[in-house]
Amino acid sequence: QEPSKTHDEL
């Protein structure tokens, strides 16, 4: 899986 581009971490 590609790393997510919506960065959901702070």
Dig out the tokens for 5 from the structure.
């581009």
- In the complex, what is the shortest distance from the CB of residue 2 to other proteins, in angstroms, rounded to a whole number? 8
Residue whose pair of structure tokens reads 């971490």 in the numeric block: 9
Q: Least distance from C-beta 3 to other proteins, angstroms?
A: 5
Q: How far is the CB of 5 from other proteins (least distance, A)?
A: 6
What is the footprint of other proteins within residues 1-10 (CB under 8 A)? 1, 3-10
Token couple for 7 = 């960065």
Query: Tokens 């899986």 — which residue?
Result: 1
- Which residues contact other proteins (rule: CB under 8 A)? 1, 3-10
